[in-house]
Amino acid sequence: MTRSRRILAALAGGACVAALTGTASARPTVGLDQGASAAGALPPVKHLFIINFENKGFTRTWGPTSKAPYLSKTLRAKGVLLSNYYATAHNSQPNYIAQISGQGPNRKMQTGCQIFQPFKVSGTAAPGQYVGIGCVFPATVPSLPGQLNAKGLRWKGYMEDMGTSCRRPALGAADDTQHAEVGDQYAVRHNPFVYFRAITDSPSCANRVVDLSRLTKDLKSVSRTPNYVYITPNLCNDGHDAPCVDGRPGGARAGGRVDEDLGAAHPQFTGLQTGRRAHHHGRRVGLAECRFQRLLRRGPGAERRPPGHHRAGRGPHRCPGHLAVRQARLHGAR
């Protein structure tokens, strides 16, 4: 297992499991309030982990014939599966933007922002939408990181294969990460932070939008762990490419090789186990969410149900094996 895959596997598996208690049946149940009895058992969530995967529909990921047994069985039994969770758009890039801003897509975003061009605002609309065309939002457009900053909460984006912190094309230039290369499978379009001038114009971008390799060090102590941790694997490990540019099967496993790595890496990742004790004894609770982008609307594998969204937490924030059916959209701050 390579170092980057070991880090990714440990986070997606370990962080989810570290935030759990095994107090309920593993059989999924339908409802919305079954975790209510645990309310008050633990303090509010202090650390939110977002882990993004790609391109797999609900049945293929969570169904009985899923090729991702850790996600569909082991992890599902320990958390909550949101079965009516809808993507904002078909293509990837608008979904990432929506997660951290609540902004809807435009035709440039729908094509993946092939050119890294500024967003030209032509007006506003409810609820909190900036109308216009383009990709890189001006500093006046609010975002979730901005809201976290205002509340004194720490956030950080971890992008696999990004290398240089806050890496992005120059304004007006072509995005040269639209296709993976051996040794560099980073995709700018899967990194929503670099599309907001309020983030990229700040010197702190170099410390807040970083390569995934920085995660292990940050998780070694509660004081270094951000309140909002946003993880995007590379184009192979997130399930986007199939086959991968380096010859791995990729998407055929509904998350690249990640699912395979999760079960193998978690028992060996003692650093996160230490983190678990620190969070528990320090009364700091973590919640992990595994999100799948894009709804497959047509062609092979098209589904009538939305892509799945898995949440694993503690106390009032989760019920192991729980299946929530409330409809939701992939939208962040507004």
Q: What is the structure's pLDDT at 253?
A: 54
Query: pLDDT by residue (tens digit) across 53-72?
Result: 887 778 888 888 888 787 78
Q: How far is CA 18 from the centre of its chain?
A: 17
Distance CA 194, CA 169 (A): 9
Q: Give the domain 3-90+141-169+178-329 fold.
A: Alkaline Phosphatase, subunit A (3.40.720)
Cβ atoms 259, 69 nearer than 8 A: yes
Which of 158 and 90 is assigned the larger pLDDT?
Answer: 158
Where do the structural domains in the chain lie, given as residue ranges?
Answer: 3-90+141-169+178-329
Query: pLDDT by residue (tens digit) across 116-170?
Result: 999 999 999 999 999 999 999 999 999 999 999 999 999 999 999 999 999 999 9
Distance CA 278, CA 283 (A): 8
Q: Is the pTM of this model over 0.85?
A: no
Model confidence at 13, pLDDT cuts 50, 70, 90, reads: very low
Which of 35 and 104 is assigned the larger pLDDT?
Answer: 104
Model confidence at 261, pLDDT cuts 50, 70, 90, reads: low
Q: What is the structure's pLDDT at 42?
A: 60
Checking if the pLDDT of 320 tops 80, the result is no
String of DSSP letters for 247-308: S--GGGGSSTTHHHHHHHHGGG-HHHHHHHHHHHHTT-EEEEEEEEE----SSTT--SSPPP
Checking if the pLDDT of 274 tops 60, the result is no
